[in-house]
Amino acid sequence: MDHQSDYARHAGGIARIGRASMFRVGLGQDIHRLVPGRRFLLGGTEIPAEKGELGHSDGDALCHAAADALLGAAGVGDVGELFPPTDAAFKDADSRVLLQTAFGKVKKAGWRLVSLDCVVICEKPKILPYRERIRSSLAAILEVEPSSVMVKGKTCEGLGHIGQGLAVEVVTICLLESVWGETRRKKRLTVHGRNR
């Protein structure tokens, strides 16, 4: 039995307290080539653009980087391992479903998302006009309020392959809280409430 699922199984009750941290951070990164004839997708939102992400799946670099941050924080694998590009099952796959599947593993291990911060680096298109849609889309998948998800667009100032419009890169960081930790925190608040 691995430590994390053991932890989840005892969530709410337990005597394993103090052994594991209540919080974990995770880092994710992904890069996709941009080519004509493909859709430009970020967090499941399609953005009008001359070129889109090349990939075995639909190429949504933001969903992939978010999934890697979550999986990494929970210590339950990575995107390449879970959804290998050699597997025909993931050909043209909707990356929102891949992210949902990855988050399912994270939840099963006893974690919930506190916050996710994302940096999208590309020369074109501009991300800002689509930011709120992207935040809402990711938040719905990850079962948090949109205010817990942030997305920032950056350029490469014309430098390198991203600056030449050949690729989009996404970097993400997330904070997870253990379900048990959340339960304990709420319980403590309730007890303090009664005492007043």
User: Shortest distance, CB of residue 145 to Mg ion, whole angstroms?
Assistant: 26
Asked if 156 contacts 162 with a C-beta cutoff of 8 angstroms, the reply is: yes
Residue nearest to Mg ion (CB): 64
- Say how many residues touch Mg ion, by CB under 5 A: 2
Helices 61-74 and 131-142, axial angle in degrees (round to 10): 40
Residue among 10 and 38 whose Cβ is closer to Mg ion: 38
Residue among 7 and 96 whose Cβ is closer to Mg ion: 96
User: Shortest distance, CB of residue 107 to Mg ion, whole angstroms?
Assistant: 22
Q: Taking CB under 5 A as the criterion, which residues in 13-72 touch Mg ion?
A: 30, 64
CA angle 167, 170, 174 (to 5 degrees): 170
Instruction: Based on the shown chain and the rule CB under 5 A, indicate whether residue 169 belongs to the binding site for Mg ion.
Output: no
User: Shortest distance, CB of residue 64 to Mg ion, whole angstroms?
Assistant: 4
Residue among 58 and 177 whose Cβ is closer to Mg ion: 58
User: Shortest distance, CB of residue 169 to Mg ion, whole angstroms?
Assistant: 10
Nearest to 120 by CA among 141, 138, 144: 138
Nearest to 45 by CA among 93, 95, 79, 89: 95
User: Shortest distance, CB of residue 164 to Mg ion, whole angstroms?
Assistant: 20
Q: Are strands 23-36 and 51-53 parallel, antiparallel or unpaired?
A: antiparallel
Residue among 30 and 177 whose Cβ is closer to Mg ion: 30
What's the rounded Cα separation, in Å, for the pair 87 and 79? 13
Nearest to 134 by CA among 67, 48, 47: 47
Binding site for Mg ion (CB under 5 A): 30, 64
